[in-house]
Amino acid sequence: MRIFLDANILVSVLNKEYPLFTYTSRIISLADKTRFTLFTSPVCPAIAFYFAEEKYRSISAKKRIEILCKHINIAATTKNTVFQFLQTPAINDFEVGLAYYAAIESKCDCIITEDIDAFYFSKVEVLGSENFFEKYLVGQLPKSRSR
């Protein structure tokens, strides 16, 4: 499954924002599973860096982004991506438009975001992190042993 992660998912992981971190950190860990491939656009880590920098300062924020980006594919954002957004009257938010068309060009099966309403036009499944976790991962987790 190919999954696109919006900026707010990355921010949640980098800044350990609870209660979302419970779900977003597990979603990021899917990068280690062959069944899942994670993508984001180049704009999303930039947004996440901004918020991580406010919390951790530049050097630490940069290290956190570097670690995160080693596990996530950065989708190409090309001139075509920009023009697709510009030619779609239903999309008014530039960052959302770039994210959406980066997800489309990367052939993502779903977009995970905490701003589901921003993707009201999407032809790709859009889920919040908790909903994604419940729909795709709950039955996949190893069962804990009873003592």
All domains of the chain in start order, with CATH: 2-133 (3.40.50.1010)
DSSP codes of every residue in the chain: -EEEE-HHHHHHHHTT-TTTHHHHHHHHGGGGSTT-EEEE-THHHHHHHHHHHHHH-HHHHHHHHHHHHTTSEE----HHHHHHHHT-TT---HHHHHHHHHHHHTT-SEEE-S-GGGGTT-SSEEE-HHHHIIIIIGGGSPPPPP-
Closest by alpha carbon to 94, among 80, 75, 81? 81
pLDDT at 142: 47
- In the prediction, which pLDDT does 140 show? 58
- In degrees and rounded to multiples of 5, residue 37 shows phi and psi of -130, 125
| Mean pLDDT of each 10-residue bin along the chain, 147 residues long | 97 92 93 93 92 83 88 91 92 94 96 97 96 85 45
Model pTM? 0.89
pLDDT for the residue 139:
67
